[in-house]
Amino acid sequence: MPPGSTVAVIGAGAMGAGIAQIAALHGHRVQLHDTRPGAGEAARKGIADALARQIAKGRLTQADADAAVGRIATAVTLPDVGDAQLVIEAIVEDRDAKRELFSRVENVAGPECILASNTSSISITSLAAGMKHPGRVAGMHFFNPAPVMPLVEIVSGLATSPEVAETLYATALAWGKTPVRTASTPGFIVNRCARPFYAEGLRLLAERAGDAATLDAVIREAGGFRMGPFELIDLIGLDVNLAVTTSVWEAYFHDPRYAPSVLQQERVAAGFLGRKSGRGFYDYAPGAVKPLPRTEAAQPAPARVTAHGDLGNAARLLDRIAAGGVNLERTRGDSRFPGGAIHVAGGAGGAWLALTDGRTATARVVDTGVRDLVLFDLALDYAAASRLAVARADTCSDAAYASAVGALQAAGVAVSRLDDVAGLAVLRIVAMLANEAADAVVQGVALPGAIDVAMEKGVNYPRGPLAWADAIGAASVRDVLGNLAAHYGEDRYRTSPLVARRAATGGKLGG
């Protein structure tokens, strides 16, 4: 859309006002329409206040701010948006309401006007159905807060004209955003591919693998995510998060991979909706203190550890242990631990430390015959991780466990013990994120690079799920999923065909 052209934004709530602010700052005349009396003017004032804060921070000049606000007009009636070249709706997330609005807009808008929906999950195909010109309907999904978040999903329904999608892509790019193209499937990219982040966290909590504070800390401090699943759900709102999950689950005909959590449903029923209600997984009442994660007490550092094999991505952990003053010896791999393992001196026979592979520690005792076994979790960067989750086999002695904890603490790592659950926390979440992203590629939702960009820019993941899978290896992802499927006996953990193919050939998932 050329600068100076008119953009109409329908819905003057937080998202609509944010979109109007972006368009006005980039030279467009903006018609801001809302049926609520005074809502448009309130939004215009809010935009002026937001720009004033940018001026105070030196990010914007007074002249540019005044010009942007001056370009925003509050449309009183829907026909006032008739001269717009682009109409973006940001009303309530209800399919029937959006369809009715587009039908009315089509009667007043010019024939070349593009109709875009800011919906986060409603089918663009269904919104365009019954329209006189369905080809001009597309999705332009901004993320909240729209002026700050870089990602915009450009969503094409079955009838969307390729030229319309390209115009919206180019417009988002001109507005300083990072656009990605996606097909109109349930959840698009982000709201679909992010489901395992919440779902696996909720399952771990439901299985009492650890409390919310401990699981969140592990996901942040080992996984590198900005927030843990329960912190993020509380911020989003438990009701909103549950509604999105339920919508995707129903749209995929109750596929168990997207099944909502009863644990979350109970909290919503109780009115524990997160920050906005004062209580969710955490208590936000005045004076409430956020619980600390469970951290193991300090243990003596062992005199010696022996590395069997190279441990792959976890090799940097060995360097940290050695830097902590522990004598490190290296030897060839042990056939019982194909991915490598660390033997920690101490006790009667010492302890064995190994990276989880999707099985429980106790199950691996059966396979390896090693009774004093402790598994540790995946980390984004073992050279920098400040915390690791561990699980001890039921047969592991207290002395052996203490020596394993002491070895990790010597590396400067806080140790959080989880119950002996399959896959621990970070690894199972990352494997499921990668698997979901791979299925999205297989099903033509988006290209691999677009998916990784969307997850990094839209929800601030430290690394795109497909890039992360490439870092740990597609074969490892396949094996973890297979072990989880065998443990739970559920189709939830079925392996994406793309993961299976890349694991067989050694190829990359990303690109």
Of 417, 434, 455, the residue at which a domain comes to its end is: 417
Q: Which of 89, 106, 153, 436 is catalytic?
A: 153
Q: Can you tell me whether residue 153 is helix, strand or coil?
A: strand
Annotation says 121 is catalytic: no
Of 417, 441, 460, which marks where a domain is finished?
A: 417
pLDDT at 315: 93
pTM: 0.95
Give yes or no: residues 36 and 64 share one domain. Answer: yes
Is 297 a member of any domain?
A: no
Peptide bond preceding 145 in cis form (omega within 30 of 0): yes
**Does residue 334 belong to any structural domain of this protein?**
yes
Single-letter amino acid code for the residue at 433: L
- Mean pLDDT in consecutive groups of 10 residues from the start of the chain, 511 residues: 94 96 97 94 97 96 97 87 94 94 94 95 94 96 96 98 98 98 97 98 98 98 98 96 95 96 97 97 95 97 94 93 95 92 85 97 96 98 98 96 97 98 98 98 97 97 97 97 97 98 95 65
The label of the residue with tokens 């870089």 reads: 150
Is the same domain home to 344 and 487? Answer: no
Q: Which of 351, 382, 417 is the last residue of a domain?
A: 417
Do 176 and 69 share a structural domain? yes
- Alpha-carbon Rg for the chain, nearest whole angstrom, is 26
- Please name the residues in contact with 264: beta carbons below 8 A apart, sequence gap of 6 or more: 202, 233, 238, 241, 242, 245
In total, the chain counts a number of residues equal to 511
Q: Are 141 and 113 within one domain?
A: yes
Is residue 141 flagged as an active site residue? yes
- Residue showing tokens 């829907």: 78
Q: How high is the pLDDT of residue 410?
A: 97
- On whether residue 176 sits in a domain, the answer given is yes
Q: Is 299 domain-assigned? A: no
**CATH for 315:** 3.30.750.190
Measured N-to-C along each axis, helices 448-459 and 465-472 cross at an angle, to the nearest 10 degrees, of 110
42 and 178 fall within a common domain: yes
Task: Compute the distance between CA of residue 403 and CA of residue 343 in angstroms, rounded to an integer.
Answer: 10
Residue of 118, 120, 184, 261 with catalytic role: 120
**Does any domain span residue 318?**
yes
Residue 494 makes CB contacts below 8 A (sequence gap 6+) with: 257, 481, 485
Do 44 and 134 belong to one domain? yes
Task: Choose among 345, 304, 346, 299: nearest CA to 321.
Answer: 304
Active site (annotated) includes residue 26: no
Q: Which of 191, 247, 261, 476 is catalytic?
A: 191
Q: Give residue 325's pLDDT.
A: 94
pLDDT for 511 equals 65
Question: Nearest CA to 31 among 81, 96, 98?
Answer: 81
- Assess whether 199 and 122 both reside in one domain: no
Same domain for 348 and 319: yes
- Cβ 6 vs Cβ 28: under 8 Å: yes
- Please check whether residue 1 lies inside any domain of the structure: no
Query: Domain with 33 in it: what CATH number?
Result: 3.40.50.720
Could you give the number of structural domains in the chain?
A: 3
Token pair recorded at residue 440: 């999205």
Please give the helix or strand (H or E) that residue 367 lies within, else none.
helix 361-368
Considering the domain architecture, whether residues 256 and 391 belong to the same structural domain is answered as no
Pairing state between β 72-75 and 178-183: unpaired
Residues 198, 179 share a domain: no
Give yes or no: residues 308 and 282 share one domain.
Answer: no
Pair (395, 464) in one structural domain:
no
pLDDT of residue 507: 94
Handedness of CA 82, 86, 88, 89 (dihedral sign): positive
Residue type, 50: A
Question: 487: domain CATH number?
Answer: 1.10.1040.50
Nearest to 3 by CA among 175, 242, 126: 175
Residue ranges making up the domain that contains 229: 191-209+211-289+425-511
**Is 483 an annotated catalytic residue?**
no
DSSP class per residue in 309-357: S--GGGHHHHHHHHHTT-EEEEE---TT-TT-EEEE--TTT-EEEEE--
Domain membership flag for residue 321: yes
Please indicate, yes or no, if residue 296 is contained in any of the structural domains: no
Amino acid at 241: N
Catalytic residue among 28, 33, 141, 308: 141
In this prediction, residue 346 carries a pLDDT of 76
Predicted pLDDT at 347: 65
Tokens standing for residue 293: 């994660």
